[in-house]
Amino acid sequence: MKIHREGYTTIIFSIVMLIMLNIATYSFINKELVKYIVYIVSMLMLIFIVLFFRYPLLDVESKSYNILSPADGKVVTIEEVFVDEFLNEKRIQVSIFMSPLNVHINRAPIGGVIKYVKYHPGKYLVAWHPKSSTENERTSILIENKEYNFSIFVRQIAGAVARRIVYYANEGDEIKQGSEIGFIKFGSRVDLLLPLGTKILVEINEKVKGGITNIGIIENC
């Protein structure tokens, strides 16, 4: 199993801290039952942290007019909204909630050129809160597909647990569909803001896989 580079520091720090905890437990705790509980909980915590940063290798089947899921998780919102940041137009918002058990790599839903990137400091409302899209800490990324003349607006949103957004996109970069655009640590949400008229292929509460599940299709392509 491959580990994502964002996890190296966290995993090493966790190993050191858990070793210190277990040494202290062995040295100062006399009750055997307590020792075994600490050892077992420590092992489970380490397994969870390692699995959180797992890096599945994907063979993305690229189709320019298909919109792939940017993340693993569950669809929690499908609605029409007005986007007042950069676009100033109506879009279809599809929001995906990532639990701590999901892979937290964020992928490009389409191939194209990065036209806009902006980081916004903000609050840490729970990721499913309606105002988390506009009030939480977040990163906005606009990807333009010139072949079919459409764009997708992506928001990485920090939640109550996830408080570190990492993004790799820079304005002017040309990216492939399914390539990494970022990572969010420990639970969060990703919004897709799609052109009106996009044929949506998912439903509320449906589980999706980043770089695999088709979220929608740009019709007339």
User: What is the structure's pLDDT at 24?
Assistant: 92
What pLDDT, on a 0 to 100 scale, did the predictor assign at position 73?
A: 95
- Identify the segments of the chain with pLDDT beneath 50: none
Tell me, what's the pLDDT at 161? 63
The pLDDT of residue 110 is 95
Distances (CA, A) of 53 to 7, 37, 72, 75, 221: 5, 25, 13, 21, 36
Listed in sequence order, the residues at least 6 apart from 58 whose beta carbon sits closer than 8 Å to its beta carbon are 178, 210, 211, 212
| Tokens 């969870």 found at | 48
- In angstroms, the CA 105 to CA 166 distance is 10
Residue-by-residue DSSP string for 93-161: EEEEEE-TTS--EEE-SS-EEEEEEEEE--B---TTSTTHHHHBSEEEEEEEETTTTEEEEEEEEE-SS
Residues 146, 96: Cα–Cα separation, whole Å: 26
pLDDT score at 165: 85
Question: What pLDDT score does 219 carry?
Answer: 76
pLDDT of residue 35: 92
Q: Quick one: CATH architecture of 66-217?
A: Distorted Sandwich (2.70)
Residue 198 · residue 47 · CB < 8 Å: no
Domain segments of the chain as ranges:
5-52, 66-217
What would the pLDDT profile of 16-32 be if each residue is shown by its tens digit? Answer: 999 999 999 989 888 89
Active site residues: 188
* Two structure tokens written together for 67: 């919109």
Question: Can you give the pLDDT at residue 220?
Answer: 67
Neighbouring-strand partners of residue 169: none
How many angstroms separate the CA atoms of 142 and 140, rounded?
A: 7
Contacts of 135 (CB under 8 A, 6+ apart): 122, 123, 125
